[in-house]
Amino acid sequence: MDNEQAVFFSRLLTELTLSFHIIYATIGVGIPLLIFIAQWMGIKKQDEHYILLARRWTRGFIITVAVGVVTGTAIGLQLNLLWPTFMELAGNVIALPLFMETFAFFFEAIFLGIYLYTWDRFEDQRKHMLLLIPVAIGASFSAVFITMVNAFMNAPQGFEFSNGDLINVQPIIAMFNPAMPTKVAHVLATAYMTSAFILAAIGAYRLLKGSNHDYHKKALLLTMKVGLVFSIAAAIIGDFSGKYLAEYQPEKLAALEWHFETEEAASLTLFGILENGEEVKYALKIPYALSILAHGDPNAEVIGLDQFPEDEIPPLYIHYLFITMVLIGMFAALLSSFYVLGNWLRRKFIFKRFFLWLIVVSGPLSMLAIEAGWWLAEVGRQPWVLRGLLKTKDAATTSGQVDLMLYLFILLYLVLGFASAFVLIRMFKHNPVEQELLDRQKERR
Amino acid sequence: MAYELIGISVLWVFLFGYIIVASIDFGAGFFNAYSVLTNKHHIISNIIQRYLSPVWEVTNVFLVFFFVGIVGFFPSTAYYYGTVLLVPASLSLVLLAIRGSYYAFSTYGQLKSKMWIYLYGFSGLLIPASLSIVLTISEGGFIKESANSISLNYAELFTSPLTWSIVVLSLASVLYISAVFLTWYANKAKDDEATALLRKYALIWSVPTMVTASGIIVELRSHNFEHFQNMLNLWWLFLISGMLFLATVRLLWQKGNYGVAFILLIGQFLVAFFGYGISHYPYLLYPFLTIEQGFTSEGMAVALIIAFLAGLCLLLPSLFLLLRLFLFNKNYVEGKYKG
Ligand code: HDD
Ligand code: HEM
Ligand code: HEM
């Protein structure tokens, strides 16, 4: 295998592992928060339904955690195996948040172990609930720390190169790079949002399948409210991400917007397809909107692709990824606001079949938006691994067996993906809510 | 102490931690599968489940801590080990992934068929075998260096007696450590039948552990003479380790205090592990990379050490809580909570 092929297969394998891990990681970041809210409502309202909600979510969560943990371990080691040159450099400058991430993992793992096995050990249920706080903090902070690393790849700083040597390394400056605030906030908000819509989708599906139990209605209202809050937060922070890009990575913004010429009062391109390189067809142009997205000023100048050398422009297909992400965001925000409004005004439409079906699709769609968003961010950084410093093609391993490893991991992820789905479905089918509520009542007497 | 020594000591301690907790875990999975095979499942499966359930995820983090930490403190290891380990480390990863997730699926997801128990139990033995290859490689002699690349010489690696002795040692010690721990745990749970069975396993596996460990020292003489010399200079450490080993076996034999036996065993491995580590100094990868060459910048080293100390302040109380609620909680160990 020559070097070009090694790079190609390393890319594929990295993309595959990350795209797979991010599914479980996103759920892992978001669900503890929702379990916490449910348990808290249950204790506050003395409502058995919410407590059971927390219990059942936890049982599903532990399965996704397991896959998150093993795929996370895979990606952590794999980055070293596939991108040794990059990791050597990264280890010198951005190892600090990676290292701190392991403490977040410890924290989460320890308290999750305790939480799982102490449901009936405390007289005071609130004590048990408190155990979730470190789980949620640990999960969210692992996302914060790893996203800091990714932000550094987009806006590297905190060191100097001198004759090929790294000098003047300042780990804190590297951690708090300009890409960090918007990135961390957007990743967290979208993880909470996605988890909420996935749980909402399950509740809606149960209602569609004929259950009319209050339990599912309560679950739906709770998750839709959380979904509403975080989908709006995601859109607002997404807007700030655009402003960050305009300032620090204008080539990424220009590519995702198909903004070829530098101009003032730039319009935003929605939809459309690209023909013969630079011809945008069937697009919807919103005047001034790109200038507003980029600088908050309808007349501001937005840098176009004409300012960059040919070989430093990211692939233009990221526009489609961007549109996918934004549309799903808008859809989810609208859907959840209709639901919350409808519930408030006691309208019946929120339990109509077509509306419930929309909620069911919002779960998988949110996950799709996560994938689209990450692919946008990562492909939009190409050809660089470390923007402006190290190109992806110079960072890959020189090893000859990457293709075999790719097939091996494809197999692994197929097995894990199917098995986890199978186990989750079986777990909840064998033990329906109605039955479990009855069992618990009997136990109490 | 110089920063690089602090760094390597911290990592070595955590690697030791991983070896102990993971050995218990791997061994337990194996004994569990073996007991199904020999129809003794009813005797030990409860003990094993009760111990493993709350801690399996923590075990994995020890490993993650080690490899993230080593890239932080010694970034050049990412280049050297990352390049040559692609295949062996990927295989370990696949095994770890299968095993970890199927443990969770069968325990939490009620996937109770025997196939999962076998898969889980036997893959657990392949993991230490494949991970131990890293130690073999670090002795040098298996890496080819060409103009702009380095690669692993598989033929040499798989025909070397050193490789296979290290593999056998890793297997024997996994089963030995695990059996001694579980004997103690079963005894605490007042489960006499399980205690007797596990004590028998512990005694059986003590012999190959010692034999291969001594064999490796002899093989190093021809493979890496410098390392062998350094080990001889530390003969007193290995002597202490040997004495601790004899004391453990004696306690097991006489059905003495199993708690003390386990602590002595930890001592035995700790002393030998540090003896090995110190004699390996200063090489991270013989003869390519030493601790000084591979070390990160001073700014990063200080930041990592501060983060480590702050992290410990979080970690130690939490670990203590975990142990108190499960390992040292009489009611839990005796199975009085349904949880
Ligand atoms: C449910 C998922 C989701 C939704 C609904 C949105 N995003 Fe997003 N977006 C992500 C999930 C995501 C992400 C997966 O979290 C990304 C990938 C990398 C990152 O930092 O966040 C991301 C990246 C990302 C980037 C690139 C940042 C960079 O490369 O530094 C921009 C400009 C936006 N988003 C903008 C938006 C806007 C204007 C939205 C309006 C609704 C929006 N996103 C909704
Ligand atoms: C948060 C930490 C992350 C880090 C440190 C990271 C690291 C990397 C590295 C080193 C590369 C260069 C190799 C390559 O081009 O394939 C890369 C590219 C890529 N990553 Fe990430 N990644 C992160 C998150 C993600 C996530 C969550 C996803 C997907 C869901 C993702 C998707 C991709 C894709 C699609 C590429 C390929 C771009 C291309 O080659 O055209 N990344 N990433
Ligand atoms: C390239 C980047 C990444 C690396 C190196 C990485 C590494 C890891 C590792 C090693 C684990 C297992 C920890 C354990 O043993 O307990 C893990 C799990 C996890 N990762 Fe990642 N990860 C990456 C990307 C991400 C991203 C982008 C996110 C979040 C947005 C994320 C969030 C998590 C979470 C929350 C867990 C815990 C498992 C769970 O609770 O489900 N990771 N990750």
Q: Which of B60, B90, B131, B306 has the most A C-beta neighbours within 10 Å, making it the best mutation to test the interface with A?
A: B90
Residue A293 lies in a domain: no
What long-range pairs does A379-382 form, CB within 8 A, spacing at least 24? A379/A314, A379/A315, A379/A317, A379/A318, A379/A321, A380/A249, A380/A252, A380/A255, A380/A256, A380/A314, A380/A318, A381/A153, A381/A154, A381/A249, A381/A252, A381/A314, A382/A314, A382/A315
Ligand 2 neighbours, Cβ below 6 Å, are: A 11, 14-15, 18-19, 22, 83, 86, 146-147, 149-150, 371, 374-375, 378-379, 382, 385, 392
Q: Which atom of ligand 2 is nearest to the CA of A149?
A: 5
Query: Angle formed by the axes of helices A48-82 and B86-108, to 10°?
Result: 170
B64 lines ligand 3 (CB under 6 A): yes
Residue A264 lies in a domain: no
What tokens does B146 get? 């060409």
For residue A172, give how far its alpha carbon lies from the nearest alpha carbon of chain B (Å). 8
Q: How many domains does chain A have?
A: 1
HSE-CB of A284 using CA atoms within 13 angstroms:
4
Q: What share of chain A is helix, strand, coil (3-state, %, to 5)?
A: 75, 5, 20
Q: How far, in Å, CA of B92 to CA of B30, rounded? A: 17
Q: How far, in Å, CA of A285 to CA of B311, rounded? A: 51
CB A323 within 8 Å of CB A271 = yes
Residue A258 lies in a domain: no
Instruction: Supply the range of the domain harboring residue A203.
Output: 3-245+316-444
Q: How far, in Å, CA of A231 to CA of A233, rounded? A: 5
CB contact under 8 A, B94 and A95: no
- What is this model's ipTM? 0.86
Give the domain ranges of chain B: 2-333
The residues with which B285 forms a beta bridge, in sequence order, are B289
One-letter amino acid for residue A111 of the chain: F
Neighbouring CB atoms inside 10 A of A222's CB total 20
For residue B195, give how far its alpha carbon lies from the nearest alpha carbon of chain A (Å). 24
Cα separation of the two ends of chain A: 69
Which letter does DSSP use for residue A283 in this model?
E
CB-count burial class (<10 Å; 0-12, 13-18, 19+) for A35: buried
Does the CB of A157 have a partner CB in chain B at under 8 Å? no
Residue A260 lies in a domain: no
Q: How far, in Å, CA of A92 to CA of A160, rounded? A: 11
Q: How far, in Å, CA of B239 to CA of B233, rounded? A: 12
CB-count burial class (<10 Å; 0-12, 13-18, 19+) for B300: buried
Determine if residue A161 is left, alpha or beta; phi over 0 gives left, psi from -120 to 50 gives alpha, anything else beta.
beta
Residue with CA nearest ligand 2 atom 22: A150
Type and span of the H or E element at A166: strand A165-167
Q: How far, in Å, CA of A175 to CA of A158, rounded? A: 8
Query: What is the count of residue pairs from A and B with beta carbons less than 8 Å apart?
Result: 238
Helices (H), chain B: 3-37, 41-52, 56-73, 75-84, 86-108, 114-138, 154-159, 161-188, 192-223, 225-233, 235-253, 258-280, 298-322, 330-333
Q: Concatenate the DSSP letters of all residues of A253-266 into one string.
A: HHHHTT--S-EESP
Residue A253 lies in a domain: no
HSE-CB of B315 using CA atoms within 13 angstroms:
18
Query: Angle formed by the axes of helices B56-73 and A84-93, to 10°?
Result: 80
pLDDT in tens, chain A (445 residues): 567 777 888 888 899 999 999 999 999 999 999 999 998 988 888 888 888 888 888 888 988 888 898 899 889 888 888 888 888 888 888 888 988 898 888 888 888 888 887 777 777 777 888 888 999 999 999 999 999 999 999 888 888 877 767 777 888 888 898 889 999 999 999 999 999 999 999 888 888 887 777 788 888 889 999 999 999 999 999 988 888 887 888 888 888 878 777 777 777 778 777 777 677 777 777 777 778 887 877 777 777 777 778 777 888 888 889 989 999 999 999 999 988 888 888 777 777 788 889 999 999 999 999 999 999 999 989 888 888 777 787 777 777 778 888 888 999 899 889 888 888 888 877 777 777 777 777 766 5
CB-count burial class (<10 Å; 0-12, 13-18, 19+) for B129: middle
One-letter amino acid for residue A108 of the chain: E
Q: Which of A81, A141, A149 is nearest to A111 (CA)?
A: A141
CB A100 within 8 Å of CB B307 = yes
What tokens does B108 get? 């939490």
Q: Which of A3, A9, A70, A101 has the most B C-beta neighbours within 10 Å, making it the best mutation to test the interface with B?
A: A70
